[in-house]
A and B are shown apart, each in its own frame.
Chain A
Amino acid sequence: MSPRTLVCTGCGCLCDDVQVEINGTHLGQIENACAKGAAYLQAAFNPELRAKSSIRGQGCSPEAAIHEAARFLSKAKRRLIFGLDNSTLETQALAIDLARKLGAVIDDASSFSYGPLIERILKKDLPTCSLSEVRDKADLLLYWGANPTATHPRHLSKYTYYAYAEFNPAGWYPKVTLSSIEVRQTELTTMSMPAFRIKLRGDRELISGLLGESPAASDQAKQFSELVKKSHFCAMFCGLGLVHSLGGDFSAFTRMVQLLSQSIRVAVIPMIAETNMLGFTQSLHQQTSYVNSASFASSVSHGHQFSFLEQVHNHAADCILIVGSDPFSTLPQSLLGKLQGIDIICLDHFTTLTTDTADIVIPSAVPGVECRGSVVRLDGDSIMLAEPIKNGYPTQEAILRQLLEKVQP
Chain B
Amino acid sequence: MSPAVGPAVGALGSLPRLFLAQPPQVLPAREQMAFTLIYHLILVPLGVALPFLTLLMNYVALRRDDAVAFTLAKRWSTVMAVQFAVGVVTGTVLSFEFGLLWPGLMGRWGDVFGIGFGIEGWAFFLEAILVAVYLYGWERLKPRTHFLLGLPLPLVALVGAFGIMTANSWMNTPQGFTVDATGKVTSVTVRQAVFTPILGVEYWHFLAAAVMTAAFMVAGVYALGWLRGRRDRYHRLGFALPFTVGAIIAPVQIAAGDWIARTVYQRQPVKFAAMELVWTTDSNVTEYVFGRLNPDGTVSGGLAIPGLDSILAGFSTSTVVPGLSGVPADARPTAVEATIAHWAFDLMVIIGSALLLLAVWYGAAWARRRDIPRSRWFFRFAVVSGAAAVVAMESGWITTEVGRQPWVVHGYLRVADAVTPVGAPGIWLTFAIILAVYATIAWVCIAVLLRLRTRWQRQDLAAPSGEVSPEVEVPYGPRAEELYRPGPGEDEVPR
Chains A and B are bound partners: no
